[in-house]
Amino acid sequence: MENSKVSQKILGNTGFIAFVGFLSAFVPMSTDLYLPALPSMINSFHTNVQTLNLTITFFFLFYAISMLFWGPLSDKHGRKIILSIGMILYTLGSFLCFISPTVTTLIFARILQAIGSGSAVSVATAMMKDVYTGKKLVAMLATVHSMVFI
C-alpha cells in the first residue's frame, strides 16, 4: 500500500477508517446530543443558564487539556490500553450524567466525560499516523473529519 506503514488485517481499510471516524465523533456526539436538553435541564436542576453553561465550558476546557496528556501516554503505554481507559472514563461520566441529582454533580460528570473523550480523539489521530504517511495520511484525515461533520 503506497504511503502506508501498516496494513489493517482485522478491520480492513474501510473498517479502520469507520472506527477512527467513530472515535473522532465522540466530542460532537457529546455536545449535539446534549444541547437540545439544556432548556428543560434549567427547570429540572432548579438552576440558571449561567451555571448550566458551565457543563459546556468545562467540557471543552478539560477535553482540550486531556488531549495533551492522552497522546503521549498512548505513545508510551500503547494505543489499546489508553483508549480503553479513556472509554471507561467516558462511559462512567455518561452514567454519572444520567443519574446526576444536582447541577454540580452534572458538571463534574461532564468533566469526566470530556477527559475520556479526549483519549478517543487523541488515540484515533495517533492510529492514523501509525497506519498512513504523506499525502495518504492527509487524505485519510480529511475523510475521517468529513465523516464526523456529516
Distances in Å between the alpha carbon of 27 and those of 4, 6, 8, 45?
27, 27, 25, 24
Is pLDDT at 145 greater than 50 in this prediction?
yes
Range of the domain at 137: 12-149
User: CA 122 to CA 133: how far, in whole Å?
Assistant: 17
Q: Which of 20-29, 56-65, 124-133 has the highest mean pLDDT?
A: 56-65
pLDDT tens-digit readout, 42-82: 999 999 999 999 999 999 999 999 999 999 999 999 999 99
- Do the beta carbons of residue 112 and residue 92 sit within 8 Å? yes
How far out from the chain centre does Cα 19 lie? 12
Is 74 inside a domain boundary?
Answer: yes
Q: Which residue has the cell 472515535?
A: 23
User: Which residues neighbour 19 within 8 Å (Cβ) at sequence distance 6 or greater?
Assistant: 11
CATH number of the domain to which 53 belongs:
1.20.1250.20
Is pLDDT at 2 greater than 60 in this prediction?
no
Is 2 inside a domain boundary?
Answer: no
Distances in Å between the alpha carbon of 69 and those of 110, 138, 141?
18, 23, 21
What pLDDT, on a 0 to 100 scale, did the predictor assign at position 111?
Answer: 97
> In total, how many domains does the chain have?
1
Residues 126, 127, 133, 137: is their CA dihedral positive or negative?
A: negative
pLDDT tens-digit readout, 93-110: 999 999 999 999 999 999
How many alpha carbons fall within 13 Å on the CB side of residue 100?
A: 24
What burial class does residue 55 get, using C-beta atoms within 10 Å of its C-beta: 0-12 exposed, 13-18 middle, 19+ buried?
Answer: buried
Is 114 inside a domain boundary?
Answer: yes
- Give the length of the chain: 150
Is 100 inside a domain boundary?
Answer: yes
